[in-house]
Chain A
Amino acid sequence: MNTNWDQLEKLFAAGRFEDLNAAQQTWVIQELGSAEGFDSLREIQTSLRVSPHRISRDEPPIPNPKIVAALAAKRKSKTTFLGYPIPLGQVAAIALLCFALGYLLPSNTANDGHSDLVAHNTTTIWDTLVQQAEVVVYDTIQRTITVNEASKKTPFSQTGKTVLVTQRKGMRTLEPSQIGDAALLADTSAYPIFHNEAPQRDLPTTRELDHFIQEIREF
């Protein structure tokens, strides 16, 4: 049926029955029974096709108030922020203003070099604080270990072998004979502590250490 219908539609487009060739006419007679049937079906089809030209040109009636309300609801939903009754335009303007303020303020201070100075000072203060804290911690640990080691009678101390006391990276090796406040303070092989370069920042000099211990005691 479908194939026949497709064929018939093609023949309708080709013209009236008399316009068809002999083979097509034979096929039409087989399918529809008569030439009149073909012509009349074709004419009906043509009439149906041309009828849209008879569409009324009258203006359509005013749309239902429900439609107008639905449109208004659409408009409202598109101009609010996350469903809240805040106009989207205002939200965007506030966001833009905040962004601009956040962007403009640091760039103004950077222009006169003030921010560089602040950054440099901050780094210096921080480094000093950290270094001082390290000294205090070092001193506390060193004293504790020294006292502990001194109180022990280990076989190593008796045989005179080196006792390794490692608290943190870069700490030196102490001889058993050096254990004690006096020995520690008298030691001159400690590394300077107030130095900007990390590899050299291990142990303070005796004088520096003495100075800080003094300060801590006073404190």
Chain B
Amino acid sequence: MFKKDYSSWSDENLIAAVCRGQEAPFTEVYRRYYQRIFRFLTGAIRSRTTAEDLVQEVFLRVVQSSDRFDPAYRFETWIFTIARNLVKNEYRKRSRQGTTTSLDDLTFAVSEEQLNEPATPLWMAKEESLFVAQAIDRAMTELSPEVHMILQLRYREGLEVNEVAQIIGCPVGTVKSRVYYGLRKLEKMLSPLNIKP
């Protein structure tokens, strides 16, 4: 009995098979997206443990809602939208518990005033000679979750601005301005450390 190779299948075809409850296509989807969703959630939630739980929740919702997936749209956009909704729920939960403000309150955390402030010192030491990418990763944790998610979707996941807008649930113009402020904030944070990307 030979094993079917799903690696060449498109996401949309895989999800159609998941719809019928097939395990092997789901495993392929899981393998493709686990790290990406995990990284996205870790950046937004800032908690590795919570992110691990939420990734499983994302895939559970993918299976449960696979009937409702519209093949006219990209699966990538759909799964990140599910992840983003879970982030929103998580922030709502934290807000109720009083541990943090809601995600919406953090939306415009990067403002003009902040850009003009002295850059936030990073905890890492220059002498450790961290890689530039690691420095950027750490600097990104200083951004608001919303801006972090937008930068991640736009650059690390390579999505178009309109797709990011669809996932985040805001106008395209808002996404563009947040990308700009996010990059300016990163620049401010990285320059005192003399980290030249």
Contacts and interface: CB of A to CB of B under 8 A. Distances in A.
Given A41-B187, A66-B56, A5 B176 contact: yes
Q: Range of interface residues on chain A?
A: 35 or more
B136 A78 contact: no
A180 B64 CA distance: 89
Nearest to A50: B133
A99 B21 CA distance: 30
Contact of B157 (A47, A52, A76): A52
A176 to B, nearest CB: 85
The main secondary structure of chain A at its interface with chain B is: helix
B187 A71 contact: no
Given A6-B176, A40-B190, 6 more contacts: A2-B172, A51-B155, A60-B31, A70-B63, A72-B21, A74-B63
A85 B142 CA distance: 54
B147 to A, nearest CB: 12
Interface of B: 18-23, 26-27, 30-31, 34-36, 38-39, 52, 56, 59-60, 63-64, 66, 132-133, 136-137, 151, 155-158, 172-173, 176-177, 179-180, 183-184, 186-187, 190-191, 196-197
16 contacts: A1-B180, A8-B180, A41-B183, A47-B132, A48-B155, A51-B155, A54-B133, A55-B39, A60-B35, A61-B52, A63-B26, A64-B56, A67-B59, A67-B60, A70-B60, A71-B23
B59 A75 contact: no
Nearest to A60: B34
A78 B63 contact: no
Given A52-B157, A67-B59, A74 B66 contact: yes
A153 interface: no
Contact of B26 (A58, A61, A66, A71): A71
A78 B173 contact: no
Contact of B197 (A8, A43, A59, A76): A43
Interface in A69-92: 70-78
A22 B187 CA distance: 25
B41 to A, nearest CB: 13
B20 A78 contact: yes
A52 B156 contact: yes
